């Protein structure tokens, strides 16, 4: 017996798994997955041309109330393309949060731009609009060609807030700040399909939003991503760039730009469409699991991360805050050794060697969270 054994016991009870391994987040397939995949194979349309790709785009656009949605092979590539479309160029700076998954910062690097890491809010775990405003007030000036960092002399073209673990950040305030400085906003909504801020779906506030359908996300296509647009023309440009910038012609190969092979194959979209059909069940179950955790951790005196004010979260990954880094390390050891998968939050981006020379603010909240937060098993539970 140890001080975390009641938690291990509770998690085993929730997942009705007295002894076996409990993963952090497992996908659930219980609808038309096999049927649609079979249809793909029978039709021979397994690559990027096929009906499921287009239907999946339409469904996600409707669901999120986006003007247009464009599929991608994964969320990281979708972010890369979003930054390109937002006008990020070599030598620019792109502001994001230090507390994020590596994809956000990598996508910035793919554009040969430099990330700038800003702190998060303690309640949302997403970019802090106050920290952002303070950073910009101190460090930038507006010129005719855009917003410039007066110290590095780089142009700040874009800002990429992220909705951590599906909890919406203060995206309206972030956009208001960015508008004042002429900075584009690309939302990394990779983790937040099914999450809303003030009644509006995450990923639809900025000029472009990005979703991921990786195997561990709320619904999966195996691997996949999606770009969400307010602007139809920009969406058409995105689709063009994801398909090698090939001009439509019955037989000629003419390309009018350096494009990418980024369009999601039909096989993945078939899986995604079947998954999308059960999203309400998944979201309902995830909320129930979060409610059980909330009540339990309340009696344990442990801080369970709840959806922020004005937000409805998909509760993609549940998280708790422990008292200290030592506590966190002990918790990780005990739970993982007991076959209950738990994970610390990502190492802050600026602490990784590739990004160690990037500009940051004080990152006080990010550091606090890094030392104390752990994710606990969060899979949906659906009994047929």
Q: Does 285 participate in binding ligand PLP (rule CB under 6 A)? A: no
| 71 near ligand PLP, rule: CB under 6 A | no
| By CB under 6 A, residue 207 contacts ligand PLP | no
| Contact range with ligand PLP by CB under 6 A, out of 17-25, 118-126, 185-193, 307-315 | 185-193
232: tokens are: 């139809």
**46 in Cβ contact with 266 (< 8 Å):** yes
Residues 89-128 that bind ligand PLP (CB under 6 A): 100-101, 103-104
State yes or no: residue 313 binds ligand PLP (CB under 6 A).
no
By C-beta, is 162 or 311 nearer to ligand PLP? 162
Of the ranges 152-160, 186-194, 297-305, 373-381, which one interacts with ligand PLP (CB under 6 A)?
Answer: 186-194
| Residues 340-379, mask of contacts with ligand PLP (x by CB under 6 A) | ----------------------------------------
Q: Does 188 bind ligand PLP (CB under 6 A)?
A: yes
Question: Residue 80 Cβ, how far from ligand PLP at the closest point, in Å?
Answer: 10
Tell me which of 129, 225, 272, 377 binds ligand PLP, using CB under 6 A. 225
Cα separation, 202 vs 151, in Å, equals 33
- Using CB under 6 A as the binding criterion, the count of chain residues that bind ligand PLP stands at 15
Rounded Cα–Cα distance for residues 202 and 195 (Å): 6
CB of 103 to ligand PLP, least distance (A): 3
**Chain centre to alpha carbon of residue 340:** 24
At residue 181's C-alpha, the angle toward residues 176 and 185, to 5°, is 60
Pair 230, 67: CB distance under 8 Å: yes
Backbone φ and ψ for 311, nearest 5 degrees, come out as: -130, 150
Alpha helix (H) residue ranges in 155-211: 171-180
- Shortest reach from residue 163's CB to ligand PLP, in Å: 8
Contacts with 25 (C-beta within 8 Å, 6 or more apart), sequence order: 216, 316, 317, 377, 378, 379
Q: Nearest distance from residue 341's CB to ligand PLP, in Å?
A: 17
Burial class of residue 153 (count of CB atoms within 10 Å of its CB; 0-12, 13-18, 19+): exposed
When the beta carbons of 37 and 162 are compared against ligand PLP, the nearer one is 162
214 lies in the binding site for ligand PLP (CB under 6 A): yes
Q: Using CB under 6 A as the criterion, what x/- string covers residues 143-172 for binding ligand PLP?
A: -------------------x----------
191 binds ligand PLP (CB under 6 A): yes
Provide the H-helix boundaries in the chain.
5-14, 33-43, 51-64, 75-85, 102-110, 129-139, 171-180, 232-242, 266-276, 279-300, 325-337, 364-372
Q: Contact with ligand PLP (CB under 6 A): which of 32, 76, 350, 370?
A: 76
Closest to 162 (Cα-Cα) out of 322, 316, 362? 316
């Amino acid at each position: 017996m140890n001080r975390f054994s009641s938690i291990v016991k509770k998690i085993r009870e929730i997942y009705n798994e007295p002894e076996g391994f409990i993963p952090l987040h497992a996908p659930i397939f219980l609808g038309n997955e096999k049927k649609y995949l079979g249809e793909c194979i029978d039709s021979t349309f397994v690559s990027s041309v096929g009906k499921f790709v287009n239907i999946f785009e339409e469904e996600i656009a409707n669901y999120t109330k986006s003007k247009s949605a464009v599929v991608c092979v994964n969320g990281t590539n979708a972010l890369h393309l979003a930054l390109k479309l937002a006008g990020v160029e070599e030598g620019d700076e792109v502001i994001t949060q230090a507390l994020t998954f590596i994809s956000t910062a990598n996508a910035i690097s793919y554009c040969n731009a430099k990330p700038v890491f800003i702190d998060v809010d303690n309640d949302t775990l997403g970019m802090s609009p106050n920290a952002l405003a303070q950073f910009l007030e101190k460090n930038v000036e507006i010129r005719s060609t855009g917003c410039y960092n007066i110290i590095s002399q780089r142009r700040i073209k874009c800002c990429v807030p992220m909705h951590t673990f599906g909890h919406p950040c203060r995206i309206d305030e972030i956009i208001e700040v960015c508008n004042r400085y002429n900075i584009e906003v690309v939302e990394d909504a990779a983790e937040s399909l099914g999450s809303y801020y003030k009644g509006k779906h995450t990923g639809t506030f900025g000029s472009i939003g990005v979703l991921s359908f990786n195997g561990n996300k709320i619904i999966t296509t195996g691997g996949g991503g999606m770009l969400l647009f307010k602007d139809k023309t920009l969406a058409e440009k995105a689709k063009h760039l994801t398909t090698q910038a090939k001009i439509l012609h019955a037989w000629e190969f003419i390309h009018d730009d350096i494009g990418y092979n980024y369009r999601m194959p039909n096989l993945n979209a078939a899986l995604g469409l079947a998954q999308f059909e059960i999203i309400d069940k998944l979201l309902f179950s995830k909320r129930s699991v979060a409610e059980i955790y909330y009540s339990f951790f309340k009696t344990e005196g442990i801080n369970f991360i709840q959806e922020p004010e004005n937000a409805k979260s998909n509760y993609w990954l549940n998280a708790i805050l422990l008292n200290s880094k030592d506590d966190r390390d002990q918790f990780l050891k005990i739970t993982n050794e007991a076959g209950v998968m738990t994970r610390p939050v990502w190492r802050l981006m600026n602490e990784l060697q590739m990004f160690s020379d990037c500009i940051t603010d004080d990152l006080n909240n990010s550091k606090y969270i890094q030392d104390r937060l752990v994710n606990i098993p969060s899979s949906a539970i659906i009994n047929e």
